[in-house]
Amino acid sequence: MNSSCPICLDTFKNPYSIGCSHIFCKKCINKWLKEKDSCPVCRKEYIGSFPIPIELITSKYKTRKITEYWRSFKIFVELQKMMDDYTNYNGTISNKCKRMDKILKFIYENKWIFKTNKIKLWGYDFRKVLRQKIDEFSINENYKEGKIWKYKFRDILE
Ligand SMILES: [Zn+2]
Ligand SMILES: [Zn+2]
């Protein structure tokens, strides 16, 4: 993690991440994104714009809270990417179904991030999306499995 913005080389103003581990000022990265759609440092593709709390950058110590924040952030980014791929996928229904199943498994394995309430910070209502996806899954693909997923996620969907 960088301690100053790689574009203006100054301290961060309104720190943002675009999905990799690099951080930029909001203004700097927005300007860059008008020309290219990847990170100027590592070239990783743009996934979304995520505000990063300044305490995470300025804190000298890696507290449990900070470690947890980064872990949930990485999971969130991965999830966002999987969801985008799913939405843009034009294959057969059964392959789409397999992909959704993979996503649901991934969410289930990382269920703890819903409990930390960090999700809201990135402006994405995952509970709503999850509920919607499971409903879609039950209607279009597999009713029985949809019901099982609903049961598995009952504690976070309520
Ligand atoms: Zn900057
Ligand atoms: Zn990067």
List the shell of residues around ion ligand 2, using CB closer than 5 Å. 20, 22, 39, 41-42
- pLDDT at site 117: 58
Ligand showing the shortest atom-to-Cα distance for residue 20: 2
Distant-in-sequence contacts of 21-27, Cβ < 8 A, 24+ apart: 23/52, 23/57, 26/51
On whether the pTM is more than 0.85, the answer is no
For 10, list phi and psi in degrees, rounded to 5.
Answer: -105, 175
Residue 13 C-alpha to ligand 2 middle, in angstroms?
18
Identify whether the C-beta of residue 45 lies closer than 8 Å to the C-beta of residue 38. yes
Ligand showing the shortest atom-to-Cα distance for residue 26: 1
Residue 39 C-alpha to ligand 2 middle, in angstroms?
5
Ligand showing the shortest atom-to-Cα distance for residue 47: 2
Ligand showing the shortest atom-to-Cα distance for residue 36: 2
Ligand showing the shortest atom-to-Cα distance for residue 28: 1
Topology classification of domain 15-57 = Herpes Virus-1 (3.30.40)
What is d(CA 109, CA 130) in angstroms, rounded to the nearest whole number?
14
pLDDT along the chain (158 residues), means of 10: 88 92 95 95 90 80 80 84 87 84 89 68 67 78 79 82
Identify whether the C-beta of residue 18 lies closer than 8 Å to the C-beta of residue 46. yes
Cβ burial of 58 (10 Å; 0-12, 13-18, 19+) is exposed
